[in-house]
Amino acid sequence: MLVGLGVTVVYIFLHKGWFFVPGTNSFDDADPLFLTVKSTSFGAVGAVLNFATAILISRATQEPPQEIQELVESVRIPRGAGAATAGH
């Protein structure tokens, strides 16, 4: 998440000014740096970078221990929960 957020914030600050202070911008907002993406729409690119980073990290690291996987499964399906029915 930090990769996507960091890249997005830096891109916006380069166009809008650091912490939105007038006169501190490095580029004009009408002149996009990355393809034709404006600074106000760059969050989508940040989200893609977020997912790409998450996928790369998950493939590069080992699986969590079995007890952690069981803990996550027990949280997903609470004890005493019945099966879902179509008629509610």
pLDDT digits (tens, 9 = 90+) for 27-86: 876 777 777 888 888 999 999 999 999 999 999 999 999 999 988 888 887 777 666 666
How far is residue 40's CA from residue 82's CA, in Å, rounded to a whole number? Answer: 45
Q: Does residue 83 belong to any structural domain of this protein?
A: no
Structure tokens belonging to residue 10 = 């830096």
Check: CB of residue 29 under 8 Å from CB of residue 38. yes
The pTM (predicted TM-score) of the whole model is: 0.68
Q: Does residue 51 belong to any structural domain of this protein?
A: yes
The parent domain of residue 28 ranges over 2-74
Q: Which of 47, 53, 21, 15 is nearest to 34 (CA)?
A: 15
Domain count, the chain: 1
Structure tokens belonging to residue 73 = 């499964």
